[in-house]
A and B are shown apart, each in its own frame.
Chain A
């Protein structure tokens, strides 16, 4: 008990007891930093803030060590953040009240050094004095540097195929390939209902290939308004489009399909990235938004067991546009 009282008393003394007189040297030489009277209140405030900072830091370690606490992220962040904030407050009090704030002046550095500029220029000029075939020399030197630079950059071509653009036209779709869902189960034509949309992949192909995913929707026969060239694409009112937006390559994950009057505007696929909107009734034309190409359409057929199969490849290359995207048809 007595021991505890001693500790408390000495702690109190430490904080509020008579401070020692400030350490000020005087007399024998001129000071650099001007002399100001001490600010006991400021000092005490700074000390208290530093102590609070230390307590919060210790709390952080404790929260970290105690496994079973709920909301650990909040406690850890709160304690560490507060520790830094108290430290900041203590330092700012130190800067404003404890340490002498001097407003000094001095001259800006010289704008320029004419003599030195001249010397530098002359050293460079005179260094080349002895060269007689100056142009030839420069050509050879820069030629060597340039060629070496090209040589050093060459291995960068290994980063990718670079010149071969065939992969951009390739798709895993070909005539007869079955359409399956994410888990590999084949779609039957009966699975596809009006006013819903389905994601399908070519059976056995890599689902992550951007030429793989297809959106399936079923439209009433009288809703379809396909141009003559695409008229053979739907199978019993089911149409399939590439799921990858032709603008920036995001997956089309919104199907706008008005179910009651007014049913205008008609059913469309919408990209959630930049809201390109593609009409599903007329072959995937762009209705709104920044896409510059229609959505590639996949010809569909129903086999005698009722499964959906591709009746060919897409009518256009899949994915965002590039310089050759209108050059060729997609390849299998």
Chain B
């Protein structure tokens, strides 16, 4: 039976040699290599659940009155878009489960990419010959952030609208062209023209998912063509890759991981409430709510927007840099600029242009680890600053005092953490050297005493 099937396929596609090689493709056996896979599986769950949601969603902005099953909203004026999502949550069987699973999957997707990026960065996996793979991955992270933002903007609840207002202000703040760009995107001043939601919709459900799928395919193809990196070992060398073959050993492991990711996401979607839009109510430009927080992956941007001191940079009557540009555009541009440039910077200033199949441990590259930890501390503390209002409410620490403290901390702490990281890496290396020498000396001493 199997022979006949393989023969059939080979005769028609000539791919038996490819199949043979693919089945014996090796995966290094280390948990940290599964982080990227988690992102991939979350993406699959996103596509499947998102398709289901798209069967019920409408992008209409015409005002309608709600007369559905959720009593507190009855009689309220809202857009057709918001109403369709409320109906999806209350009147479509399994609708709320799929919607919440989709939202959780988005949060997990970006979290998995982020942790995967940390692993790749601190082990130097991006070095030659894998820079292209890395750049594709960083691009996917950036696109995924936009995709997530569009996703929760489409719902058109109160939080969506507040997020869009901020997004609009950030576009408006781009020097020299902001107003024109915002008019193009929104079709006029906020809240925009009739077609703005249609534009977000096609981006969210068609263009960006396809873009991510293309980037993802290229990313995986490059991984396969250059093969996985691996940690140094007794048998693992620059030339020899050691690992489990795709089939049979790796296949049940990967399928199992996929099922685990899907299982956890559906459990979260069913048991842990996320974004109860019926509580926020519909958006109106003249309303907002206190204590609003975005999804976690935009926390660093809200923190940055809050930290920047209050000034617009002007020359005469001309406003060169309106304030939201710093936190909403310049800050993420610097962080992503660093991520894109880093492999090149390291080659240029670190002088290491060699071909690498073996990974570093963080301690093996003290400078990289120190700079990476510095940037991570910087972005993390900007992220924490975004939660200052919650800390104020929960612990009574004055909001303005916290913001003033963060304005200093975000610049001081990265240097401190970077310096400590550098020191720790050097000490760990030194400790290893000392230990190695002692072992060698002991072995020599034993050898000198002879086979007593």
Complex: A209 Cα to B291 Cα, angstroms: 24
List, in ascending order, chain B residues with CB within 8 A of A275's CB: 306, 389, 399, 403
List, in ascending order, chain A residues with CB within 8 A of B185's CB: 159-160
Using CB atoms, name the residue of chain A closest to B96. Answer: A73
Complex: A252 Cα to B249 Cα, angstroms: 59
Stretch at the interface among A75-83, A131-139, A301-309: A75-83
B80 within 8 Å of A (CB atoms): no
Complex: A179 Cα to B138 Cα, angstroms: 51
Complex: A319 Cα to B31 Cα, angstroms: 50
Could you tell me the distance in whole angstroms from the C-beta of A320 to the nearest C-beta in chain B? 4
Using CB atoms, name the residue of chain B closest to A92. Answer: B256
Starting from the known contacts A76-B270, A84-B262, A159-B185, 14 additional A-B residue pairs (CB-CB under 8 Å) come to A72-B94, A73-B97, A73-B270, A77-B266, A91-B252, A104-B243, A105-B26, A160-B186, A165-B180, A244-B286, A250-B162, A272-B289, A290-B324, A322-B179
**B270 and A74 form a contact (CB under 8 A):** yes
Q: Give the interface of B toward A (CB within 8 A).
A: 24, 26, 29, 93-94, 96-97, 100-101, 129, 162, 165-166, 168-170, 172-173, 175-180, 182-191, 193, 199, 225-227, 235, 238-245, 248-253, 255-260, 262-271, 284-292, 302, 305-312, 314, 317-320, 322-324, 327-328, 355, 357, 389, 399-400, 403
**A320 and B168 form a contact (CB under 8 A):** yes
With known contacts A247-B323, A322-B322, A323-B320, A291–B310 Cβ distance under 8 A:
yes
List, in ascending order, chain A residues with CB within 8 A of B180's CB: 162-163, 165
With known contacts A88-B256, A88-B259, A244–B172 Cβ distance under 8 A:
no
Using CB atoms, name the residue of chain A closest to B25. Answer: A106
8 Å CB interface, A72-112 against B: 72-78, 80-92, 94-96, 99-109, 111
**A251 and B288 form a contact (CB under 8 A):** yes
A-side interface mostly: loop
Complex: A108 Cα to B176 Cα, angstroms: 51
Which residue of the partner chain, among B173, B245, B270, contacts A320 with CB atoms under 8 Å? B173
List, in ascending order, chain A residues with CB within 8 A of B165's CB: 248-250, 273
A33 within 8 Å of B (CB atoms): yes
8 Å CB interface, A228-246 against B: 243-244
Q: Give the interface of A toward B (CB within 8 A).
A: 33, 64, 72-78, 80-92, 94-96, 99-109, 111, 156-157, 159-165, 167-168, 199, 201, 207-210, 212-213, 243-244, 247-254, 271-276, 286, 288-293, 319-327
List, in ascending order, chain A residues with CB within 8 A of B129's CB: 111
With known contacts A250-B288, A327-B317, A161–B183 Cβ distance under 8 A:
yes
**A321 and B312 form a contact (CB under 8 A):** yes
Could you tell me the distance in whole angstroms from the C-beta of A22 to the nearest C-beta in chain B? 15
With known contacts A64-B93, A101-B249, A251–B287 Cβ distance under 8 A:
yes
Count chain B CB atoms within 10 A of each CB in A208, A251, A272, A320 and give the residue with the most.
A320
Could you tell me the distance in whole angstroms from the C-beta of A112 to the nearest C-beta in chain B? 9
Using CB atoms, name the residue of chain A closest to B318. Answer: A323
**A210 and B190 form a contact (CB under 8 A):** yes
Complex: A213 Cα to B165 Cα, angstroms: 15
**B241 and A321 form a contact (CB under 8 A):** no
List, in ascending order, chain A residues with CB within 8 A of B250's CB: 95
Which residue of the partner chain, among A78, A159, A272, A274, contacts B305 with CB atoms under 8 Å? A274
**A325 and B286 form a contact (CB under 8 A):** no
Could you tell me the distance in whole angstroms from the C-beta of A95 to the nearest C-beta in chain B? 4
List, in ascending order, chain B residues with CB within 8 A of A162's CB: 180, 183-184
Complex: A100 Cα to B314 Cα, angstroms: 69
**A253 and B225 form a contact (CB under 8 A):** no
Complex: A85 Cα to B183 Cα, angstroms: 48
Using CB atoms, name the residue of chain B closest to A328. Answer: B317
**A243 and B260 form a contact (CB under 8 A):** no
Using CB atoms, name the residue of chain A closest to B357. Answer: A108
Which residue of the partner chain, among A80, A85, A89, A290, contacts B270 with CB atoms under 8 Å? A80
Which residue of the partner chain, among A102, A288, A292, contacts B244 with CB atoms under 8 Å? A102
List, in ascending order, chain A residues with CB within 8 A of B318's CB: 323-324, 326-327
